[in-house]
Amino acid sequence: MNDSVYENFSLVYFLKNITNLGDVRIRKIVEKYHSLDSLLKVNKDHLMRIEGLNEKVCQEIYYQFDKITEVRKAIGTLLSKCSDKKISYTTILDDDYPFNLRNIYDAPVLLYYMGKLSEKDRYSISIVGTRTPSDYGRRVCVDITKELSRKGIPVISGLAIGIDSIAHNTCVDNENLTYAVLGSGVDNLYPPDNRLLYNRIIETGAVVSEFDVGTKAEKVNFPRRNRVVSGISLGTIIVESGAKGGSLITAEFALDQNKELFAIPGNINARNSEGCNNLIKKGYAKLVMNVDDVLSELSYKIGDLVENKVERAFKKENPALNIFETKIYNVLNETEPINVDRICELTELNVSDCLVNLLTMEFKGLVSQLPGKYFIRI
């Protein structure tokens, strides 16, 4: 085991077991202190300088410091169990952590998985929908997923019965990468009827969860699962959904995460199409009739993958830049998002000029805006 990977896991696991300390605040801590040993040496005054930490939380952290021997023993036991069950893990600090997921506001700081993660997940699209699809929904889901697979676009879903399972199965049948995100531990399959599919996904892609090993499927887990489904992806396609379907929770997360949202239109009299039709009607989702409707919106984000697999019509040449856009473009990069305040410092432009030019560059397909006024070069 790589020492840095072990240190990252130990630090994150230690913090995840502290009451009232969630992913957002844990991320702030681990980005400042990169190992458990480093954190153990920090005094309370320095710890309280981290945004979002108050005295009560810091006291809880220091209380756990006194139990560090027990914590290290628990970590050793857990990692031994993971090894026995062929469960891998990645943290927000590790290189193999899914690229798109890293950039959402409340990204899970720890993921467990069975199978193999791939850098190609940065090009993925999620497909979700009802557990009771119509023949129309099944056919559309197969057709869309087949076409995405043909173009090499990975597909993310939630392994539920219905549209999720159809999308996963179609990917595996077409030798395409797919991740199944669970609302339970990766070793505690739900629903159990999907055992065969679960095993097939592990052979070619990955089953992923932020929940601890052994965690049972609980109703409260699934909304959190849904934010990971949309978070790993560039965009989400809703195939069929009722007016209050669970897929609409994923749609809400996609919108909150500044991701593209797509919906398949359906019969205006069909309950299974109410959710999709409403998303389109309200302007929240883009109407999809074929895969080209999706890729035309995402082609500027898909980058290297589309060069050989997506039609040349979707490729965009970089437009000419004015002097201000050039300044901004030169300080951005493709790996780490930068806040607009930092862009202003580096370019010596005011906030208003920065935002105007960033918006123009976003229209040109050169930059992408992330939550919190962070920007990244495409």
pLDDT of 251 above 90: yes
Query: Predicted confidence band at 49 (pLDDT cuts at 50, 70, 90)?
Result: confident
For residue 116, give the nearest of 177, 184, 169, 160 by alpha carbon: 177
Lowest mean pLDDT among 47-56, 99-108, 139-148, 162-171: 47-56
The answer on pLDDT for 271 being more than 50 is yes
CATH architecture of the domain with residue range 323-377: Orthogonal Bundle (1.10)
Lowest mean pLDDT among 34-38, 199-203, 286-290: 34-38
Whole-number pLDDT of residue 308: 45
**Share above pLDDT 70 across residues of the chain, in percent, rounded to a whole number:** 95
Asked if 343 contacts 328 with a C-beta cutoff of 8 angstroms, the reply is: yes
SS3 state at 321: coil
Architecture in CATH of 119-309: 3-Layer(aba) Sandwich (3.40)
pLDDT, tens digit (0-9, with 9 covering 90-100), for 339-362: 999 999 999 899 888 998 998 888
Residue 34 is predicted with a pLDDT of: 82
pLDDT of res. 289: 93
CA dist., res. 206 & res. 154, Å (int): 11
pTM for the model: 0.79
Residue whose entry in the numeric block shows the structure tokens 């597909």: 155
Helix (H) or strand (E) holding 369: strand 367-370
Q: Report the CATH number of the 3-84 domain.
A: 1.10.150.20
d(CA 269, CA 291): 25
Query: Does residue 229 contact residue 126 with C-beta atoms inside 8 Å?
Result: yes
φ/ψ region of 214 (left if φ > 0, alpha if ψ in -120 to 50, else beta) reads: left
Query: What CA–CA distances, in Å, run from 163 to 101, 218, 228, 292, 367?
Result: 22, 20, 17, 20, 33
Residue-averaged pLDDT of the chain: 90
Average pLDDT of the residues in 257-272: 95
Query: Which stretches within the chain are classed as H helix?
Result: 3-16, 23-30, 36-40, 44-47, 55-65, 68-84, 99-102, 135-150, 163-173, 195-204, 221-232, 247-256, 274-281, 291-302, 304-309, 323-331, 340-347, 351-363
Q: Take residue 40 and report the two structure tokens written for it.
A: 């153990």
293-329 pLDDT per residue, tens: 998 888 777 755 654 443 433 334 456 788 888 889 9
Q: What CA–CA distance (Å, rounded) separates 134 from 131?
A: 10
Show me where the domains of the chain are located.
3-84, 119-309, 323-377
Given 3-state DSSP classes, what are the helix, strand and coil percentages for the chain, each rounded to the nearest 5?
A: 50, 10, 35
pLDDT in tens, 98-151: 999 999 999 999 999 999 999 999 999 999 999 999 999 999 999 999 999 999
Q: Model confidence over 77-89: pLDDT tens digits? A: 999 999 999 999 9
- Dist CA 23 CA 16 (whole Å): 8
